[in-house]
Amino acid sequence: MAELLDKSKQDSPADSQEQKFGLKSLVLHLHPRRVPQAVLKFTHTWGLGGMAALLIVVQFLTGLLLRFVYAPFPGKAYDSIIVLQNEVLFGQFVRNIHHWSAIFLLAITFLHLLRVFFTGAFHGPRQFNWIIGCSLLFIVVAANFTGYLLPWDQLAYWAITVSTGMLEYLPLFGTELREAVLGGTEVGAATLLIFYNLHTSILPLLLFLLMLLHFWRVRKAHGVMVPQNSGNEANNYVAVIPNLVVRELATALVLLAVVLTVSAVFNAPLQAKANPDFSPNPAKAPWYFQGFQELLLHFHPVFAVLVIPFTAILVMLAIPYLRYDAEPTGIWFISGKGRKMGSISAAIALILTPLAILLDEYVISPSAALAIFPGYIIKGVIPLSFLLIFIAALYYLSKKKFAATKNEAVQAVFIFILTGFLILTATSVGFRGEGMRLAWPW
Ligand code: HEM
Ligand code: HEM
């Protein structure tokens, strides 16, 4: 019935003639004819999904231009970037756009994930779209990572060496996996070619296909989630052209203006040419992997590289399929109580994470215990058990003491873990100096 009603609101014969060609037709492939007034409110989605899509188009276009000059061979890659910057008209600018837009894309995709989570838009018919979204995020990270190596400067070479080195810690097949990724025993010509091909053909293709699937699923779920508290606005349908399209265009123009301005003012970094014989100190992974690099300083490698990240990925994928006891609301942070509990969880993580880092760095010295028990017990099972007990207590207290629904309690735990991970990342990016020791950046 809902399908029929929807259809009746859709095309007349004249309309479908009109739809065959032109921009209007493109818009109406992406959107229905009409949408509830409630979803026009900018602060509902913040337009983040559309922003991510736009930045991907920017990456495709600038990437194609870069390919005209870039040469994916160790003897030529760095020099081709220098030629690009110094001799090609707008070469530096195009490189800057590709560089900054990649960073914006990562941040915006992540923020989009957060908006979907915090408005509960992963329930019901949107469950599988969350999984597609997680895959999109994975590919965006992979595209950033493979692109990182291409300039072939010291920053690129050592960041990829450090990150792929983490794979060595995986038990059983770690070394084989690392060598498969690198195409050899160390970062070299084969690695550059593998990364280049992944970066400029396979990942963009996957991204494109998954995006189509993602958009199709949004339409199949009858558009984005409508907030439950939007009263009449939920049933009042308005035409997509011009109402939604004008808002999307405005958002797109503002985003483009910001990316172009940043690219005009700040050049993409380029250090000295890669030198496999001289490692910088500290050698750090790209910033989005530094949370894991920080974990590696505190946990046994098998836990930092395998147990914790893979559990986190599984939990992320399971989020839509957990059993909840309340219907999705489409309201930010579920309710007033959800918001309050979220703030408390964030505050606890904000205090406890730096405290734990400092304790581990300066106070706890497990060397005596390590002489008796194996490392994976002292630096793995024991600290992880403490963490899990704490998370269980947080969940239990939320439900018992604050009479929270399961949705609100899961949200509180999510915020706790998220804040903790962001602090780990910030610590490694900003507060780790020579030998990865804690240091003030100024
Ligand atoms: C989501 C898509 C993409 C992301 C996130 C991405 C990200 C990146 C990043 C972070 C770099 C290093 C930039 C730097 O600091 O210099 C890079 C370089 C590069 N990318 Fe992409 N890229 C994407 C798509 C593409 C596509 C589709 C192509 C080509 C078809 C491409 C071609 C290149 C080339 C040739 C370079 C080397 C030039 C340079 O480093 O400045 N990229 N990319
Ligand atoms: C390349 C990255 C991505 C692109 C281009 C993209 C694009 C979009 C767009 C345009 C929408 C509809 C409007 C909006 O919410 O802005 C949407 C909705 C959605 N996205 Fe994404 N997305 C991406 C990544 C993700 C990620 C990482 C997740 C979560 C893990 C996700 C899950 C969802 C879900 C569940 C919806 C439906 C939301 C609702 O109905 O309210 N997406 N996406």
CB crowding 35-60: b at 16 or more within 10 Å, else e: bbbbbbeeebbebbbbbbbbbbebbe
| pLDDT in the model for residue 216 | 95
Average pLDDT over residues 161-172: 92
CB 174 within 8 A of CB 168: yes
Q: Which ligand minimizes its atom distance to the CA of 46?
A: 2
Atom 15 of ligand 1 has which residue's CA nearest to it? 99
Average pLDDT over residues 346-375: 86
The per-residue pLDDT for range 33-81, each reduced to its tens digit, is 898 888 888 888 999 999 999 999 999 999 999 999 999 999 999 999 9
Percent of the chain with pLDDT over 70: 95
Distance CA 388, CA 396 (A): 12
The encoded tokens of residue 37 equal: 């007034």
3-class state of residue 71 by DSSP = coil
Q: Which of 83, 53, 54, 57 is nearest to 68 (CA)?
A: 83
CB 52 within 8 A of CB 108: yes
| pLDDT in the model for residue 154 | 97
Structural domains in the chain plus CATH codes: 24-279 (1.20.810.10), 300-442 (no CATH)
Q: Which helix (H) or strand (E) holds 221?
A: none
Q: Which residues line ligand 2 (CB under 6 A)?
A: 45, 47-50, 52-53, 109, 112-113, 116, 121-122, 126, 129-130, 133-134, 136-137, 140, 211, 214, 218, 221, 224-225
Distance CA 261, CA 390 (A): 45
Looking at every residue in the chain, the average pLDDT score rounds to 91
3-class state of residue 404 by DSSP = coil
| pLDDT in the model for residue 385 | 95
- Ligand 1 centroid to residue 98 C-alpha, Å: 6
Atom 31 of ligand 2 has which residue's CA nearest to it? 133
| pLDDT in the model for residue 5 | 37
Average pLDDT over residues 134-152: 98
pLDDT at residue 440 is higher than 90: no
Residues with Cβ within 8 Å of 431's Cβ and at least 6 positions away in sequence, in order, are 438, 439, 440, 441
DSSP single-letter state for residue 415: H
Question: In testing the pocket of ligand 1, which one of 199, 201, 259, 273 has its CB within 8 Å of the most ligand atoms?
Answer: 199
| pLDDT in the model for residue 10 | 42
- Ligand 2 centroid to residue 49 C-alpha, Å: 5
